């Protein structure tokens, strides 16, 4: 295939605006899969991802297209993660493309991640083709959205396409637009090999499979290669492209997209963003700087039953083979036993990892309150990175504490500005700026949309923030955030004591002004979720030795089967057996039996 | 009488078990009548409304079941439960008892109990039952507060219940039980005290007091869920139970089982059989039997029971398990602990060939530390706190692996 006939592009969009459906439609229309072979949203091959409507693993599909002018083109569609947690992976993917189809939902207009994505696309000088999707829906307002695109993004209306990915309307025109507007890849086959790893995936049989974009030179099966950033040496055991299933090939030339099977043991050996070149007489300059993704959110993960620690360790290690951004270290807690302190790119990443551990590996887990990484300077000058409240030094040892801050971008109909300003204040946000966007119909009325810019400590975002935002804006607000840097903070550790025993899992680092209120709500919640025991249980919240809140759980007095006759006996015995089984699932805090759900409930508190 | 006819049973082994057991010790006989005029709001028993026309056919099925088990077995007790057994006419009872007498060997003082719903009595009924040989009545009084009776959805009011008791006395019954329920939503301790005192002042030989417990499908459970009734209050119920213990002790009742009180000598023999793990045979839909270490429960569906039995097939089992080893020990301990005299340590050790205090040492120590049980050289017993928190005691004795 002539390099000039290749088009490498991706689809970028806010969640649920139709990225995956559009991908399906493109695959179908270019004949890569017959209609009946397409399961919904073909490219999301993990159950979890399909449920949440998001993609985590980027995939690349080669499509063949005969243009209306009669020429044959090769379109490489690269799918991207849409979420800010994975922005590092998104940006690597964009480097592999020359163009991006920006999908905007006709019923919603520009949302926070629409903007986040387009900024990254423009940073990488991609040719962006905006499309307004879901024009088939009754609530669609393509005119309003068009105006918004013109004002906010600066496109002319004749540059914007109207489509319905679901029905296929306008999609053939989109493919033509991709062919005409996205430039062919630059790069030369006669130069030494340089290929970008834009994603990787561990396979039990093939080892690490790296998704690559060949920029210069030629990739061949059997080639001996070197990673320019990490220095790892590897060999191409298998080479190919996806159409959409893996299809082996002997060579991939400059401008092409495909995969190589490396035989490497973990994705950490073959990191996204690195440049591949030949082991001997390779290229001099890597394609882009690459950096290790930095975990931002930390939590302790423990098995509910202590004897499942080994299973947990094995599961995390396996997950890690395929998730280079997950970090973990053994940790132990007097109450919870042996576990791990894990680092995640963000809350979504945390949710996904927990769900995969529970679902794919059948584990029952207890997860501590998520936190950020604090930088603490002690009075003796020592600087500590603290990722767990357990390690937070005593107040009298602390000279200075710094915590990560994020810039927040909220897009909302103007009617909710008041409510959202309240939310932001509650969550320690600092107002920066308001930008005006377009119009949209909200609950039957025309409404002005705005973008609010705030700064807030990442710590405040970690529990109920997102839900509060959504509920105070009736679901209309969308959110994006980016890391700003560390700032000084005045913080204390709030401890929780159950039956006079300190429970590390419930400790959290908060501003001193919030100690009383947070303490009260944590204590009240625990009283609600911890079942009555055979003895009275005091629940206390404390900062240092000072108790800031307290509730007592009265002892249980009655629990007996009133009737036990004849045939009943087997049935009643089964009830008792269930009761006995239920006890096993409890986590013990000293003598107090606490259901696993209790930990989750406390985690959710702001 | 049709002896020796063995139909297809659930399994061949079960058939042999039944046949063998029939020759040994006297047993209790339970017969279930799953018919009610109207379902009470708290009911979770196997019973059907508006199926009274099926009673005659059902009775024929019972007779067939009786004949299947015919043999030279003695009967210690017969218990007619339900549903509402008092919907069965005296004449029908007479036929049934006749059939039973043909099939089994009655003892001189076989206890024969019928459950009575005060809302279904017609004049002379109790007298006629007495003539058939019924010598014990269990009257479903539940409460003597009309508001509470309405809340429970009972067919009768307090007056009818009191009259039922008097009719029973007039008919010559001496051995009468009254059923009462406490722990009702919104029930005050005063209201409970009134009901209890009034019931006790009638001086019945036996009282069964049950704390209200609701399965999710009971009408009352749904009302509570919907906020139409206050939620159940286990602390109030505990107080009501303790009050009852005090009142009935003063009145000379023996608190012989967690939920049952009796004047000395008037303990319910049929139920004692269950708690002592003695054999009993259950007939009718959903009835259970415990014979030769097997507990078997008949199918509960009325239609299936009738169609299968009337077509000549055997009664299919809904559950059938062998009770042996650790499981049998666990059940023996749990059931005996429900009784005031507790577990007879020497008897247990002899029966199971182990040392109870030794084998269950850890659990017993834990429970004693919690103040829920105690023991002396003869017996293992629940403490007063243990009677209220019995489940905490019971589940700990369950075996580790399912048997």
**Cα–chain-centroid distance for residue A434?**
27
How far is the C-alpha of A464 from the C-alpha of A237, rounded, in Å? 47
Categorize the per-residue pLDDT at A35 as very low, low, confident or very high, splitting at 50, 70 and 90.
low
CB-CB: which of B321, B370, B388 is closest to A558? B388
The pLDDT of residue B5: 34
DSSP secondary structure letters along A436-464: EEEEEEETTEEEEEEEEEEEEEHHHHTTT
CA–CA min distance B259, chain A (Å): 6
Q: What percent of chain B has pLDDT over 70?
A: 93
- pLDDT, one tens digit per residue, over B179-195 is 999 999 999 999 999 99
- pLDDT, one tens digit per residue, over A392-421 is 888 888 899 999 999 999 988 888 999 999
Categorize the per-residue pLDDT at A47 as very low, low, confident or very high, splitting at 50, 70 and 90.
very low
Lowest mean pLDDT among A65-69, A533-537, B13-17, B84-88: B13-17
DSSP secondary structure letters along B199-241: HHHT--SEEEEEE----TTSHHHHHHHTTSSPPP-HHHHHHHH
How far is the C-alpha of B339 from the C-alpha of B200, rounded, in Å? 21
Residues A427 and A522 in one domain: no
Average pLDDT of the residues of chain A: 85
- Strands (DSSP E) along A81-223, which ranges? 99-105, 127-133, 161-162, 194-203, 207-216, 219-220
Q: What percent of chain A has pLDDT over 70?
A: 92
The pLDDT of residue A34: 53
Is there a contact between B287 and A568 if contact means CB atoms under 8 Å apart? no
Residues A123 and A152 in one domain: yes
Q: Would an 8 Å CB–CB cutoff place B335 in contact with chain A?
A: yes
CA–CA min distance B321, chain A (Å): 9
DSSP secondary structure letters along A503-557: -GGG-EEE-GGGHHHHHHHHHHHHHHHSPP-SS-EEEEEEETTEEEEEEEEPPP-
Residue B30 has pLDDT above 80, yes or no: yes
CB-CB: which of B286, B331, B390 is closest to A569? B331
Q: How many domains does chain A have?
A: 5
Residues A257 and A335 in one domain: no
Categorize the per-residue pLDDT at A39 as very low, low, confident or very high, splitting at 50, 70 and 90.
low
- pLDDT, one tens digit per residue, over B228-270 is 999 999 999 999 999 999 999 999 999 999 999 999 999 999 9
The pLDDT of residue B185: 94
Q: Are A1 and A71 in contact (CB under 8 A)?
A: no
Residues A172 and A79 in one domain: yes
Residue A348 has pLDDT above 80, yes or no: yes
Lowest mean pLDDT among A462-476, B188-202, B269-283, B365-379: A462-476
CATH assignment of the domain containing A399 = 3.30.70.240
Residues A27 and A102 in one domain: yes
Categorize the per-residue pLDDT at A391 as very low, low, confident or very high, splitting at 50, 70 and 90.
confident
The pLDDT of residue A604: 60
Residues A216 and A352 in one domain: no
Asked whether residue A128 is domain-assigned, the answer is: yes
Residue A377 has pLDDT above 90, yes or no: yes
Task: Compute φ and ψ for A371, nearest 5 degrees.
Answer: -140, 175
Which of A151, A181, A211 finishes a domain? A181
Name, of A48-52, A366-370, A549-553, the range with top average pLDDT: A549-553
Q: Are A217 and A191 in contact (CB under 8 A)?
A: yes
Asked whether residue A291 is domain-assigned, the answer is: no
Task: Pick the residue from chain A with its C-alpha nearest to B233.
Answer: A558
Q: Are A448 and A435 in contact (CB under 8 A)?
A: no
Chain A positions touching B211 (Cβ under 8 A) are: 558, 560, 562
- pLDDT, one tens digit per residue, over A283-294 is 888 887 767 778
The pLDDT of residue B8: 37
| Residues of A contacting chain B (CB within 8 angstroms) | 534, 554, 556-570, 573, 576-577, 579-580, 583
Categorize the per-residue pLDDT at A599 as very low, low, confident or very high, splitting at 50, 70 and 90.
low
> Which among A554, A558, A572 is the top mutation candidate for probing chain B, defined by the most B β-carbons within 10 Å of its own β-carbon?
A558
Chain B positions touching A560 (Cβ under 8 A) are: 211, 258, 387-391
Q: Helices (H) and strands (E) in chain A — how many of each?
A: 14, 33
CB-CB: which of B235, B280, B394 is closest to A557? B235
DSSP designation for B288:
E
Q: Which residue has the higher pLDDT, A272 or A404?
A: A404
CA-closest candidate to residue A101, choices A46, A140, A63, A144? A63
Q: Are A506 and A453 in contact (CB under 8 A)?
A: no
CB-CB: which of B237, B372, B391 is closest to A579? B391
Residues A342 and A454 in one domain: no
Domain span(s) for CATH 3.20.20.70 in chain B:
12-275
Residue A109 has pLDDT above 90, yes or no: no
Asked whether residue A562 is domain-assigned, the answer is: yes
Is there a contact between A563 and B388 if contact means CB atoms under 8 Å apart? no
CB-CB: which of B259, B334, B389 is closest to A559? B389
Residue the block writes with tokens 């399912």: B402
Fold of the B325-396 domain: Arc Repressor Mutant, subunit A (1.10.10)
How far is the C-alpha of A442 from the C-alpha of A57, rounded, in Å? 34
Task: Compute φ and ψ for A366, nearest 5 degrees.
Answer: -115, 130
The pLDDT of residue A82: 63
Residues A216 and A119 in one domain: no
CA-closest candidate to residue B81, choices B296, B270, B335? B270
Q: Which residue has the higher pLDDT, A27 or A179?
A: A179
Categorize the per-residue pLDDT at A32 as very low, low, confident or very high, splitting at 50, 70 and 90.
low
Residue B14 has pLDDT above 50, yes or no: no
Residue A38 has pLDDT above 90, yes or no: no
Task: Pick the residue from chain B with its C-alpha nearest to A534.
Answer: B370
Chain A positions touching B286 (Cβ under 8 A) are: 567
Average pLDDT over residues B141-170: 95
Residue A261 has pLDDT above 50, yes or no: yes
The pLDDT of residue B21: 47
CB-CB: which of A568, A573, A580 is closest to B331? A573
Take residue A407 and report the two structure tokens written for it: 């810039």
Q: Are A385 and A473 in contact (CB under 8 A)?
A: no
Q: Would an 8 Å CB–CB cutoff place B258 in contact with chain A?
A: yes
Strand partners, A508: A494
Is there a contact between B288 and A566 if contact means CB atoms under 8 Å apart? yes
Q: Would an 8 Å CB–CB cutoff place B286 in contact with chain A?
A: yes
Average pLDDT over residues A416-436: 93
Task: Pick the residue from chain A with its C-alpha nearest to B279.
Answer: A566
Residues A445 and A349 in one domain: no
Residue A281 has pLDDT above 90, yes or no: no
Q: Are A430 and A456 in contact (CB under 8 A)?
A: yes
Chain B positions touching A564 (Cβ under 8 A) are: 258, 274-275, 335, 338
Which of A125, A158, A181 finishes a domain? A181
Asked whether residue A62 is domain-assigned, the answer is: yes
CA-closest candidate to residue B156, choices B169, B145, B172, B170? B145
3 state SS of B131: helix
Asked whether residue A69 is domain-assigned, the answer is: yes
How far is the C-alpha of B309 from the C-alpha of A534, rounded, in Å? 49
How far is the C-alpha of B277 from the C-alpha of B351, rounded, in Å? 12
Residues A164 and A236 in one domain: no
The pLDDT of residue A524: 92
Is there a contact between A569 and B387 if contact means CB atoms under 8 Å apart? no
Q: Would an 8 Å CB–CB cutoff place B277 in contact with chain A?
A: no
- pLDDT, one tens digit per residue, over A450-472 is 999 999 999 998 878 888 888 89
Is the dihedral angle over the CA atoms A481, A484, A489, A492 positive or is it negative?
positive
Chain A positions touching B401 (Cβ under 8 A) are: none
Between the alpha carbon of residue B314 and those of residues B8, B55, B282, B297, B305, the distances in Å are: 6, 19, 14, 13, 9
Q: Would an 8 Å CB–CB cutoff place B290 in contact with chain A?
A: yes
CB-CB: which of B274, B388, B402 is closest to A560? B388
In this structure, the strands spanning A72-78 and A6-13 are parallel
Is there a contact between A570 and B319 if contact means CB atoms under 8 Å apart? yes
CA–CA min distance A524, chain B (Å): 20
Chain B positions touching A579 (Cβ under 8 A) are: 391, 395
Q: Are A328 and A316 in contact (CB under 8 A)?
A: yes
DSSP designation for A217:
S
Task: Pick the residue from chain B with its C-alpha nearest to A575.
Answer: B395
The pLDDT of residue A600: 63
Average pLDDT over residues A68-93: 80
The pLDDT of residue B9: 36
Q: What percent of chain A has pLDDT over 90?
A: 36
Is there a contact between A567 and B234 if contact means CB atoms under 8 Å apart? no
Residues A119 and A256 in one domain: no
Residues A87 and A167 in one domain: yes
Domain span(s) for CATH 1.10.10.920 in chain B:
325-396
Fold of the B12-275 domain: TIM Barrel (3.20.20)
How far is the C-alpha of A189 from the C-alpha of B173, rounded, in Å? 108
Q: Are A468 and A426 in contact (CB under 8 A)?
A: yes
Average pLDDT over residues A59-78: 88
Is there a contact between A560 and B390 if contact means CB atoms under 8 Å apart? yes
Categorize the per-residue pLDDT at A3 as very low, low, confident or very high, splitting at 50, 70 and 90.
confident
Is there a contact between B280 and A558 if contact means CB atoms under 8 Å apart? no
The pLDDT of residue B17: 43
Residue A178 has pLDDT above 50, yes or no: yes
The pLDDT of residue B228: 92
Domain limits for position A418: 378-489
Average pLDDT of the residues of chain B: 90
Chain A positions touching B237 (Cβ under 8 A) are: 558
- pLDDT, one tens digit per residue, over A351-366 is 889 988 988 888 888 8
How far is the C-alpha of B216 from the C-alpha of B221, rounded, in Å? 6
Lowest mean pLDDT among A250-254, B1-5, B81-85: B1-5
pTM over 0.80: no
Q: Which residue has the higher pLDDT, A456 or A482?
A: A456
Take residue A355 and report the two structure tokens written for it: 């769900």
Q: Are A152 and A110 in contact (CB under 8 A)?
A: yes
Categorize the per-residue pLDDT at A153 as very low, low, confident or very high, splitting at 50, 70 and 90.
confident
Residue the block writes with tokens 């973008």: A451
Residue A235 has pLDDT above 50, yes or no: yes
Q: Which residues does B201 contact at the CB level (< 8 Å), separation at least 6?
A: none
Which of A444, A468, A489 finishes a domain? A489
């Amino acid at each position: 295939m002539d390099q000039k006939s290749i088009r490498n592009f991706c689809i970028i969009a806010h969640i649920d605006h139709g990225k995956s459906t559009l991908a399906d439609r493109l695959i179908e229309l270019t004949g890569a899969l017959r209609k009946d072979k397409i399961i919904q949203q073909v490219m999301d091959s993990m159950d979890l991802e399909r449920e949440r409507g998001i993609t985590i693993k980027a995939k690349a599909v080669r499509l063949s297209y005969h243009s209306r002018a009669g020429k044959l083109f090769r379109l490489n569609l690269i799918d991207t993660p849409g979420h800010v947690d994975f922005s590092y992976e998104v940006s690597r993917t964009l480097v592999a493309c020359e163009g991006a189809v920006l999908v905007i939902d006709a019923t919603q207009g520009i949302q926070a991640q629409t903007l986040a994505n387009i900024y990254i696309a423009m940073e990488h000088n991609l040719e962006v083709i905006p499309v307004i999707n879901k024009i088939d829906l009754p609530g669609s307002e393509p005119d309003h959205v068009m105006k918004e695109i013109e004002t906010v993004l600066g496109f002319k209306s004749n540059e914007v396409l109207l489509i319905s990915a679901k029905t296929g309307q306008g999609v053939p025109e989109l493919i033509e637009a991709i062919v005409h507007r996205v430039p062919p890849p630059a790069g030369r086959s006669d130069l030494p090999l340089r290929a970008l790893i834009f994603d990787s995936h561990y396979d039990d049989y093939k080892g690490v499979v790296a998704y690559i974009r060949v920029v210069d030179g030629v990739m061949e099966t059997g080639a001996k290669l070197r990673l320019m950033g990490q220095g790892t040496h590897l060999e191409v055991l298998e080479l190919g492209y996806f159409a959409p299933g893996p299809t082996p090939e002997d060579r991939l030339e400059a401008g092409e997209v495909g995969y190589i099977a490396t035989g490497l043991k973990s994705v950490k050996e073959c990191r996204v963003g690195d440049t591949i070149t030949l082991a001997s007489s390779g290229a001099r300059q890597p394609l882009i700087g690459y950096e290790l993704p930095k975990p931002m959110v930390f939590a302790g993960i423990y098995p509910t039953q202590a004897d499942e620690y080994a299973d947990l360790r094995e599961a995390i290690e396996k997950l890690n083979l395929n998730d280079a951004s997950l970090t973990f270290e053994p940790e132990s807690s007097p109450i919870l036993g042996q576990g791990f302190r894990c680092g995640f790119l963000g809350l979504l990443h945390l949710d996904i990892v927990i769900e995969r551990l529970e679902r794919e590996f059948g584990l029952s887990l207890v997860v501590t309150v998520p936190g950020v990484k604090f930088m603490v300077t002690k009075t003796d000058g020592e600087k500590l990175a603290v990722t767990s409240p357990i390690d937070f030094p005593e107040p009298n040892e602390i000279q200075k504490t710094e915590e990560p801050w994020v810039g927040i971008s909220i897009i909302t109909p103007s009617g909710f500005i008041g409510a959202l300003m309240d939310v932001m204040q509650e969550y320690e946000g600092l107002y920066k700026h308001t930008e005006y966007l377009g119009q949209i119909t909200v609950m039957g009325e025309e409404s002005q949309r705005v973008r609010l810019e705030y700064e807030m400590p990442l710590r405040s975002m970690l529990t109920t923030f997102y839900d509060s935002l959504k509920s105070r804006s009736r679901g209309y607000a969308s959110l994006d955030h980016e890391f700003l840097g560390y700032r000084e903070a005045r913080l204390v550790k709030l401890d929780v004591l159950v039956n006079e025993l300190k429970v590390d899992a419930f400790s959290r680092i908060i501003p001193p002004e919030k100690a009383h209120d947070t303490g009260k709500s944590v204590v009240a919640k625990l009283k609600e979720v911890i079942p009555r025991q055979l003895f009275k249980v005091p629940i206390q919240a404390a900062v240092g030795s000072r108790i800031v809140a307290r509730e007592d759980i009265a002892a249980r007095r009655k629990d007996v089967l009133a009737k036990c006759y004849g045939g009943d006996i087997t049935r009643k015995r089964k009830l008792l057996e269930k009761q006995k089984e239920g006890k096993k699932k409890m986590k013990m805090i000293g003598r107090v039996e606490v259901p696993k759900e209790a930990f989750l409930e406390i985690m959710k508190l702001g | 009488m049709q002896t020796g006819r063995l139909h297809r049973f659930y399994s061949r082994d079960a058939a042999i078990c039944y046949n063998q057991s029939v020759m040994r010790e006297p047993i209790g006989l339970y017969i279930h009548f799953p018919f009610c005029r109207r379902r009470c709001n708290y009911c979770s028993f196997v019973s059907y409304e508006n199926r009274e026309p099926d009673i005659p056919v059902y009775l024929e099925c019972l007779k067939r079941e009786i004949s299947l088990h015919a043999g030279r077995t003695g009967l210690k007790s017969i218990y007619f439960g339900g549903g509402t057994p008092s919907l069965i006419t005296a004449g029908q009872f007479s036929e049934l008892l006749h059939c039973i007498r043909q099939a089994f060997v009655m003892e001189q003082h076989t206890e024969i109990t019928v459950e009575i719903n005060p809302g279904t009595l017609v004049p002379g009924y109790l007298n006629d039952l007495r003539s058939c040989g019924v010598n014990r009545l269990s009257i479903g009084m539940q409460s003597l507060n009309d508001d509470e009776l309405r809340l429970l959805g009972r067919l009768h009011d307090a007056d009818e219940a009191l009259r039922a008791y008097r009719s029973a006395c007039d008919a010559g019954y001496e051995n009468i039980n009254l059923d009462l329920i406490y722990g009702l939503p919104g029930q005050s301790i005063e209201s409970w005290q009134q009901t209890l005192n009034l019931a006790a002042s009638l001086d019945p030989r036996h009282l069964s007091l049950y704390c209200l417990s609701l399965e999710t499908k009971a009408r009352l459970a749904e009302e509570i869920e919907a906020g139409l009734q206050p939620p159940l209050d286990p602390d109030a119920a505990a107080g009501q139970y303790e009050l009852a213990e005090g009142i009935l002790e003063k009145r000379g009742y023996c608190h012989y089982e967690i939920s049952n009180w009796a004047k000395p000598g008037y303990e319910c023999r049929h139920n004692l059989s269950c708690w002592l793990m003695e054999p009993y045979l259950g007939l009718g839909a959903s009835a259970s039997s415990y014979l030769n270490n097997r507990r078997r429960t008949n199918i509960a569906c009325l239609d299936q029971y009738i169609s299968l039995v009337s077509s000549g097939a055997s009664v299919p089992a809904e559950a059938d398990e062998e009770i042996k080893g650790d499981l049998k020990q666990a059940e023996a301990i749990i059931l005996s602990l429900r009784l005031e005299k507790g577990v007879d340590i020497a008897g247990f050790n002899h029966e199971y060939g182990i040392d109870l205090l030794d084998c269950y040492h850890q659990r017993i120590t834990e429970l004693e530390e919690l103040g829920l049980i105690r023991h002396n050289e003869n017996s293992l017993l629940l403490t007063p706190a243990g009677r209220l928190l019995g489940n905490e005691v019971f589940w700990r004795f369950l075996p580790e692996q399912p048997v």
